[in-house]
Amino acid sequence: MPLYDYKNPKNNKIFTELRKVKDWNKPYILKDGTKCERVFSYGNIGIVNKNAEVFEKDSEYVKKIKPKNIKFNDGHIEKYDPRKHR
């Protein structure tokens, strides 16, 4: 059985639970009846925001590779400006 991460909506704490693979996408129900949705976290990195732009996720990496343009999630492209795109 693998470990899955869940977020408690009352206190925003992330906790890990051992669950069956067939239950991977079901919410975890606490003893008090609170429904905790599954989140994707990677150690101390935190919750992955799939709606964030690439420069918002890891601005230091983007600065390091020095791109000419940045493509946004909605498809439009802008010239990269390290002061603007942090």
What pLDDT digit, counting tens, does each position of 39-52 carry? 876 655 556 667 78
Write down the pLDDT at residue 43.
Answer: 56
Q: In 10-86, which residue ranges form alpha helices assigned H by DSSP? A: 54-57, 59-65
- In terms of C-beta distances under 8 Å and separation of at least 24 residues, what long-range contacts does 8-15 make, across chains too? 8/34, 8/36, 9/34, 9/35, 9/36, 9/37, 10/34, 14/39, 14/41, 14/47
Q: What is the pLDDT of residues 4-44, one digit of tens each?
A: 889 999 998 888 999 998 988 899 999 999 999 998 766 55
pLDDT higher than threshold 90 for residue 61: no
